[in-house]
Chain A
């Protein structure tokens, strides 16, 4: 394939105008400066042939949409209304860039404004940006922001925060070298007593995630009360789908709320693109990273939208910017905006309640199997950990032989937790899928 439109005559005209005999002579100066590069042998294919080759590769993944998947652990499969993919495929959205020219970017800018409003509403917060790369980097940026605001570098983090998020936070903050105090979650939820003991005047932030990586609903209000009486900021990472039912970060007194936006309108996509949700209190807006759209007016008084508070950003502040980010996950933010507009308040709440019901139903059925027991006794939303009477990785293998993606063996992250499995049940799990899971588990545990 080629997407270069120039005919032989066009090329002759362009080269003639600049007085060169051929295309290669455009690179004379480069060739003089560099040794000839070794160029890889990548064959060129027609669309027809390549589509066939890609189909052969795609099939190696099985049919994930027809394979029951009981795995969440930071990425969740929810129902996607057909109108979402239709709208995000519009070329005017898909092939635009950052809305530098507001007059011909009002579509993107108004979506940013609507998205910011929706994130504020979900999180119960005052202000939000138009998205960051993903939940993990949003948490990292939140920690950096808290350290900027408090001028302190001690972080109190629950060990029940998703381990990949904490690793990302450590990577992002490497140069600040924060003192990280981990709070244990011996019974599945973060120990409020330990938080209380860990808090001191040198603490920049307390960080919890709810539901946490074990699926447990954290006592975020109780921890919020503790943090309130200290100078530290309170960072709450929320699973947005649970916010149709569960207390919002704002209701728990959070200073900064973050989340992974993928469950709201995006497919699993083997890990990305996703989008980081980021909201805070109004007083911290100038320390917030990321792009923000705001209402503006033209000379005739017509309402429109522009990128605002750009004085925080890298193209103005350069090395003194709040972050180096110079984009958002705009198309993903559009998907989330459309998703929430389609679901509406009742649909959003229904999905949350269905997740709760399905996951608890899955848990009930699995607990009937001999040797299976709940690892924790905490209230949960749509994920829970079971103790299995076998090595979880063996169970995973046997279930995949039956075409089922099991829960996640926790040994993947904690090698010593060999018999624990983290299950997830969302609204798309059917009764038939649960029956298949139970039958396959019975077989695997026999």
Chain B
């Protein structure tokens, strides 16, 4: 396939007319000061619509998505995305609505947002949710800023947040952004929070703890109520990172575990598409004592219908120009109502069953990080394969040859040569079996013909790309020929 960018396919003079150059002209144009006008116009490509459609269709064909095949990327919950949600999100009654419409003219929207917020609150055992955060990481920031404000409001200066060593990188990064230092809590040999180590970290300076449950090893933190009480005893708060909520949804609630703040990822558990990396949505729920700090605006039911609540003196403020990724919330609303509580229980049940089944099938060839049952995902170590010179990344690349998207590799950092596998509930048994067979084949190849793995993938548009050279000799934008072509930044 042709690898030229859209710019290289451009030819001067070629174009499609979408907006007529009508006679609508206004003489004020001539009164604009010269210094207000642009001197050098932007270089944009010139193509017909047919050429544009073909270019991006061919790029699409170089991509892998859940629609294409199995995508067992651990902690990312790459499940099927129902198409009804896409259709509803395209209805102009929703998609063409201006965010600052009078509330009287947006009652449908406000109802969707209000009811989504209520359903999420009930599913998590929280008092109230905000839908404003655009992604899990922004949800984390929102949550930790509320934790910060909660303590400051009580005249309590606390600067430390405890994060387990197996946590996703956003957790410590969020703590820094919210102004906290990170205290890393080691996991015990069972992969769970080491309670004795946690106790040593607890003190008056601890603002809270950030935890995922099940954790990134796919293990349920069974001492979770103890962990939360220990943190509460020193005056800290417990933050639930909902990245792995698909394991529990419809069955168990973070509120019952003792958490005070929760963020969910609508693009994971609630079936909205990942879009190649976004847009997602990271709603944040809080227990009652943190409710005053939620960002504005919130939606409430008033005497004359749904309305915005903006006058909240203790709010942390805003995180978004408007109310957040409303069309993503609408998709999640559609998903929730299609499945209902019963369907959500089926989701978590099937997700956990599929993971346990796959783990069972692969445990003979790869070393599981921990024996016994897992939740919705599990981690294998390719440490055994490493003895024949095969790394986790080689296994991942070979899976591409065999028709699968690889699992998450080299994470969590606590497991050497980690392969983190999350099958989700929407994959059928034939797919799970075919994936297991592929993994077993690769384990055999690691012993007999490791070179095949080192050279993988074999049939993709490009082979393994040299990331080190790319970061050293940066080329992150195309340049017109008269500016030296595509070389250099």
| Interface residue A373 (Cβ < 8 Å from any Cβ of B) | no
Of B65, B295, B340, most buried by chain A (CB within 10 Å of CB) is B65
Q: Are B277 and A272 neighbours in the complex by a CB distance under 8 Å? A: no
How many angstroms between the C-alpha atoms of A29 and B33 in the bound complex?
Answer: 72
* Chain B residues with CB under 8 A of A69: 98, 101
A101 nearest in chain B by CB position: B406
The yes or no answer to B135 lying at the interface (CB within 8 A) is yes
User: How many angstroms between the C-alpha atoms of A362 and B179 in the bound complex?
Assistant: 48
A residues 1-49 near B (Cβ < 8 Å) are 1-6, 10-11, 13-15, 17-18, 20, 23-24, 26-27, 29-30, 32-35, 37-45, 47
B96 x A302 contact (CB < 8 A): no
The reply on B59 being an interface residue by CB < 8 A is: yes
Whether the Cβ atoms of A98 and B277 lie closer than 8 Å is yes
Q: How far is the CB of B422 from chain A (nearest CB, A)?
A: 11
**A74 CA to B134 CA, complexed, in Å:** 17
What B residues does A105 contact at CB under 8 A? 62-64, 276
A326 at the binding interface (Cβ < 8 Å): yes
B78 at the interface (CB under 8 A from A): yes
Binding-face segment, B42-50, B382-390, B444-452: B42-50
Task: Flag if A114 contacts B7 (CB, 8 Å).
Answer: yes
A309 x B38 contact (CB < 8 A): no
Number of A-B contacts (CB under 8 A): 676
**With A37-B252, A315-B169: A117-B64 Cβ-Cβ less than 8 Å:** no
Q: From residue B406, how far is it (CB to closest CB) to chain A in Å?
A: 6
Q: Which residues does chain B contribute within 8 Å of A34, judged by CB atoms?
A: 224-225, 252, 256-257
**Quick one: which of B25, B82, B84, B177 contacts A357, CB cutoff 8 A?**
B25
Separation in Å of the A385 CB from the closest CB of chain B? Answer: 15
Q: A299-B464, A318-B173 are in contact. Are A345 and B46 (CB under 8 A)?
A: yes
B26 interface hit (Cβ, 8 Å): yes
Evaluate contact between A329 and B63: CB separation under 8 angstroms.
no
Residues of A within 8 A of B178 (CB): 174-175
Q: A170-B317, A329-B279 are in contact. Are A2 and B92 (CB under 8 A)?
A: no
Are B59 and A111 touching (Cβ within 8 A)?
yes
Q: List which B287-322 residues lie within 8 A (CB) of chain A.
A: 295, 316-322
Q: What are the residues of chain A within 8 A of B73 when measuring CB–CB?
A: 97, 100
Find out whether the CB atom of A114 lies under 8 angstroms from the CB atom of B125. Answer: no
Any A CB within 8 A of the CB of B442: no
The answer to the question of B53 belonging to the interface, with a C-beta cut-off of 8 Å to chain A, is yes
A432 within 8 A of B: no
Is B278 within 8 A of A273, CB to CB? yes
* B342 at the A interface (CB under 8 A): yes
- CB of B223 closer than 8 Å to a CB of A: yes
Q: From residue 365 to 408 of chain A, which have CB atoms closer than 8 A to chain B?
A: 379, 396-397, 400, 405, 408
Interface residues as binary, B471-489 with A (CB distance below 8 Å gives 1, 0 otherwise): 1001111100000001001
In the assembled complex, which residues on chain B have CB atoms less than 8 Å from the CB atom of A127? 476-477, 489
Check A17–B462 contact: CB distance below 8 A: no
| Residue count of chain A within 8 Å CB distance of chain B | 204
A229, CB-defined interface residue at 8 Å: no
- List A residues 196-219 near B (Cβ within 8 Å): 217, 219
Say yes or no: is B364 at the interface (Cβ < 8 Å to chain A): no
Tell which of B196-204, B232-240, B424-432 binds the partner.
B424-432
Contact A114 B489 (CB under 8 A): no
Residues of B within 8 Å of A217, CB to CB, are: 32, 36
Given the known A-B contacts A65-B92, A270-B323, A272-B320, are A26 and B349 also in contact in the complex, defined by CB atoms under 8 Å?
A: yes
Is A150 part of the binding interface, using a Cβ–Cβ cutoff of 8 Å? no
Contact yes or no, A251 B39, CB < 8 A = yes
Q: In the docked arrangement, what's the CA distance between A302 and B457, Å? A: 14
CB distance from B209 to the nearest CB of A (A): 15
Interface flags, B55-92, vs A, CB<8A=1, else 0: 11101111111111001010010111110101010111
Stretch in contact with the other chain, from A152-160, A179-187, A346-354, A436-444: A346-354
Known pairs A3-B82, A85-B90, A105-B63 / 14 extra A-B pairs, C-beta < 8 Å: A5-B428, A23-B353, A26-B352, A64-B92, A97-B274, A244-B38, A245-B38, A248-B38, A269-B99, A270-B322, A272-B320, A295-B486, A332-B275, A347-B15
Can you list 20 residue pairs at the A/B interface with Cβ under 8 Å?
A1-B339, A4-B347, A5-B429, A17-B360, A27-B352, A33-B225, A40-B123, A87-B53, A96-B276, A97-B276, A101-B396, A104-B64, A271-B323, A292-B476, A299-B464, A327-B137, A342-B18, A353-B29, A357-B26, A379-B36
